[in-house]
Structure 1
Amino acid sequence: MGPVKFNGAVMDNTSIFRADPSPEVDAAWDLLSAEGFEIITVSSDAISLSGHDPRLGVKAPASWFVPDSGRPRSVHHQSSTDENGAQYIAQIDVFHQIHCLDQLRRQINYDYYYGDKWGDNPPPQHMSHVKHCIHILLQNLMCHADVDIVPHNWVHYPDLHQKGRPYAEPLADFSIVKQCRDFEELLSWAKQNVVPDLAHK
């Protein structure tokens, strides 16, 4: 896809992903993190290319596949089976990352999501999950280490004066332009290739 200009405004809350908690906000996040955070199947070669050992992987059961085709019971599928006809359970990492970001969003709105359930004493597993998500997102940011520049622009305040002159200050302009992957296309692919209904059973 072509260049994309980010919305880096600090005070602009027009995006639903910046809105206060509500069922509508949860539904928007779920479209990105829950429905996409599901199981696909991949070949042993794909497992090896990811730096893992297929011998340790979980093989997808035969009941997941269309008889005599080797294809999962979904609309499309891209990966081939290995020499033994096996495929392996996997997920696409970006959906886990979005899930983790959503967990942090929920954590800063703790009372709304967890107050009635846990009060001021969330269980250790919950906090371990939150810390896991922070660490996962940090590692991904450091791994991809975005080196796009953030310019600084003069912002003028005609109603404010300093030493008799209109006040101005340099501020970072986070609305930068990036070359992005087509996330909507990836999300569509993931939904087409998911093992149907498995994640919500």
Structure 2
Amino acid sequence: MEAPKMDVKGYYQLSQSEQSNQDESSMNSSESSKYESIKRNIWKLCWCAALFCSVCLNALLLSQSSEYTSSKELTLSKYANLAQNVPTSRNYSSIYSSLDRSEADAAWEKLQLDIEAGWVALEDRHSESIGLPHSVRWPWDDSKGIYILSAAHELHCVYVLRTFINNVNDGEKDFRYSHGHAAHCIEALREVVMCAADDYPLYKGALNAAAGKENPRAGFGTVKMCRDWKKLVAWAKEHTACWQEAKTDDLEDKFKKCPDDSRPWERVVNHS
């Protein structure tokens, strides 16, 4: 019996068809994989973009918040160019309030030097450029006016009141400063406090830094930003009027204590 012949042509066509289907299926699968890959990449890109925008937005908000809260600290004072950038804790206790009189007296006498340094002699042209009114003439150069810095005047008033209180406490009859002088200082300090109108809320009670204290002070331990006192004194000494608190009837003798040991009275300048 003759063996049946294989339909090579039909087999070939069938094989081609199956191969075509396989290729098409493979192609579809590949395209599907590419599509899924593209879709995943798009989602990743969108997620990264959203994250980037979020980080930028938060950084911007933080920057604006920081600028807002620190704007006061970064603003320089008009005359000595001082910034409020010195963190200072409210402790209400220092060598200046020590009950050891000799220790406190020594500390205050050192501060007296800073108060004296607060008397400055400024040229009229400079005073006019920063909006200051003319002042009494400096005896060694009539193109300069004599001014006392507000901080020096206020600290002088604290010095006066401390001295007055100690005189009363010690039962002395001869006071270094008069009652009228003390009353003037009370008024000067009242004006300063009410002008500043500091609105910082001070916490009360034995909490926070005051935890465990028997007589906690309001706001104990809270930090405030201050100007650099040493920089103010340094600026004042650059414009010194050579003033000293001396008991003398000769006004000019009060302006003969220069921090740099110069002697401007030996070269008096008269522009009139």
- TM-score, length-scaled by structure 2: 0.48
- Which SS does the other structure have where 2:178 is aligned? helix
Higher RCO, 1 vs 2 (CA within 8 Å, ≥6 residues apart):
1
Say whether residues 1:132 and 2:216 are aligned partners: no
The answer for unaligned runs of 5 or more in structure 2 is 1-84, 247-252, 254-272
Say whether residues 1:46 and 2:127 are aligned partners: yes
Say whether residues 1:107 and 2:178 are aligned partners: no
Q: Within 2, Cα distance between the matches of 1:193 and 1:106?
A: 28
1:170–1:132 Cα change, 3 Å: closer
Q: Highest CA radius of gyration, 1 or 2?
A: 2
Once the two structures are TM-superposed, the CA of residue 87 in structure 1 deviates from its matched residue by 1.5
Once the two structures are TM-superposed, the CA of residue 92 in structure 1 deviates from its matched residue by 0.9
Moved over 6 A (4+): 168-171
Q: Within 2, Cα distance between the matches of 1:190 and 1:22?
A: 29
Give the structure with the larger strand fraction.
1
What per-residue deviation string (whole Å, max 9, x for no partner) do you get for residues 20-65 of structure 1?
3634422311322344334311133526724x3x2xx21223x35x
Q: Within 1, Cα distance between the matches of 2:215 and 2:156?
A: 37
- Which SS does the other structure have where 2:224 is aligned? strand
Once the two structures are TM-superposed, the CA of residue 187 in structure 1 deviates from its matched residue by 1.8
What per-residue deviation string (whole Å, max 9, x for no partner) do you get for residues 108-136 of structure 1?
21256771x52xxx69x700000000000
The answer for unaligned runs of 5 or more in structure 1 is 65-84, 158-167
The equivalences for 1:138-149 within 5 A come to 138-149=190-201
Provide the residue aligned with 1:98 in structure 2: 155
1:19–1:153 Cα change, 3 Å: closer
Provide the residue aligned with 1:150 in structure 2: 202
Once the two structures are TM-superposed, the CA of residue 154 in structure 1 deviates from its matched residue by 4.9
Q: Within 1, Cα distance between the matches of 2:215 and 2:109?
A: 39
Counterpart residue identity of residue 32, structure 1: L
The equivalences for 1:167-178 within 5 A come to 172-178=218-224
Once the two structures are TM-superposed, the CA of residue 5 in structure 1 deviates from its matched residue by 1.5
The equivalences for 1:53-64 within 5 A come to 54=134, 57-61=135-139, 63-64=140-141
Provide the residue aligned with 1:180 in structure 2: 226
Could you tell me whether the CA contact under 8 Å between 1:41 and 1:195 is conserved in 2? yes
- TM-score, length-scaled by structure 1: 0.62
Counterpart residue identity of residue 43, structure 1: E
Q: Specify which of 93, 98, 112 is matched with residue 33 of structure 1.
A: 112
1:94–1:114 Cα change, 3 Å: farther
Q: Within 2, Cα distance between the matches of 1:170 and 1:34?
A: 33
Q: Size of the alignment, in residue pairs? A: 155
Provide the residue aligned with 2:88 in structure 1: 4
Counterpart residue identity of residue 144, structure 1: A
